Amino acid sequence: MTELLAWRPHSGLDYFLIYLLPGVILVGIFVSVLLQERPSQFAKSLINALTGKKMSWLDQAKELAMYCLVFTCALVGWPGLIVFYFKNKKREAANKEWQERPDFDCAPDYLVAAVNPIDAEIASYVIDPLGFVPALPFGHLNQAWGDFLTSVEDQDEVWSFFVPKGSPTGKYQFECTSDRRGYARVRDGKILGEFITESD
Amino acid sequence: MTAQVAERLIYGGNEIPMFTNPLGPYLRACKIGFRSPLTSNWRGYVGTWEVIETAGVGRLYLVGLRAHKTYEEIVGISDVFPGFDKVFAHWFTGEIRLPQGAQIKYRHMGYGSIYEYDLLMDFKEGVLLGKHARHNKVPDDTVDPSTIPSYLRKGS
A183 in contact with chain B, both atoms CB, cutoff 8 A: no
Last residue of a domain, one of A100, A134, A158: A100
For chain B, domain boundaries: 7-152
The per-residue pLDDT for A177 is: 93
Return the number of other C-beta atoms located less than 10 Å from residue A198's C-beta.
22
pLDDT digit string (tens) for B13-43? Answer: 899 999 999 999 999 999 999 999 999 999 9
Partner residue opposite B61 with nearest CB, options A132, A177, A199: A132
Mean pLDDT, chain B, integer: 93
Task: Give me the number of domains chain A comprises.
Answer: 2
Contact A199, A165 (CB under 8 A): no
> How large a percentage of chain A has pLDDT more than 90?
69
pLDDT tens digits, one per residue of A17-38: 899 999 999 889 988 988 888 8
Which residues contact residue A132 at a Cβ distance below 8 angstroms, ignoring those fewer than 6 apart?
B61, B84, B86, B87, B88
DSSP state of A116: -
Task: Report the amino acid identity of residue A200.
Answer: D
* Alpha-carbon gap, residue A180 to A59, rounded angstroms: 58
Most B CBs within 10 Å, among A140, A145, A195, A196, to test the B interface: A140
Whether the pLDDT of residue B1 is over 80: the answer is: no
Answer yes or no: do B84 and A177 touch at CB < 8 A: no
In one letter, which amino acid is A16? F
Q: Which domain holds residue A128?
A: 108-198
Contacts of A195 in chain B (CB under 8 A): 29
Closest Cβ–Cβ partner in B31, B87, B95 for A140: B87
Query: pLDDT by residue for chain A (200 residues), tens digit each?
Result: 788 888 888 888 989 989 999 999 988 998 898 888 888 888 888 888 887 777 788 988 998 999 999 999 989 999 998 999 999 999 999 999 999 988 999 999 999 999 999 999 999 999 999 999 999 999 999 999 999 999 999 999 999 999 999 999 998 999 999 999 999 999 999 999 999 999 99
ipTM of the assembly?
0.87
**Residues of chain B found within 8 Å of residue A132, distances taken between Cβ atoms:** 61, 84, 86-88
- How many angstroms separate the Cα of A71 from the Cα of each of A27, A77, A79? 6, 10, 14
Given an 8 Å threshold on Cβ–Cβ distance, is B29 in contact with A195?
Answer: yes
Q: Inter-chain contact B90–A128, Cβ cutoff 8 Å?
A: yes
State the pLDDT at residue B4: 95
Pick the residue from chain A with its C-alpha nearest to B52. A130
> Domain ends where: A62, A81, A100?
A100
A118 and A96 in a single domain? The answer is no
The Cα-based distances of A163 to A107, A112, A196 in angstroms read 9, 10, 11
pLDDT in tens, B111-156: 999 999 999 999 999 999 999 999 999 888 788 888 888 777 766 5
**In chain A, where do the E strands start and end?**
111-114, 157-163, 168-169, 174-175, 180-187, 190-198
- Distance CA(A140)–CA(B26), nearest Å, equals 8
Half-sphere exposure of A1 (CA within 13 A, CB side): 0
Q: Answer yes or no: do A33 and A115 share one domain.
A: no
> CB atoms < 10 A from the CB of B70, how many?
11
Q: Which of A68, A84, A100 is the last residue of a domain?
A: A100
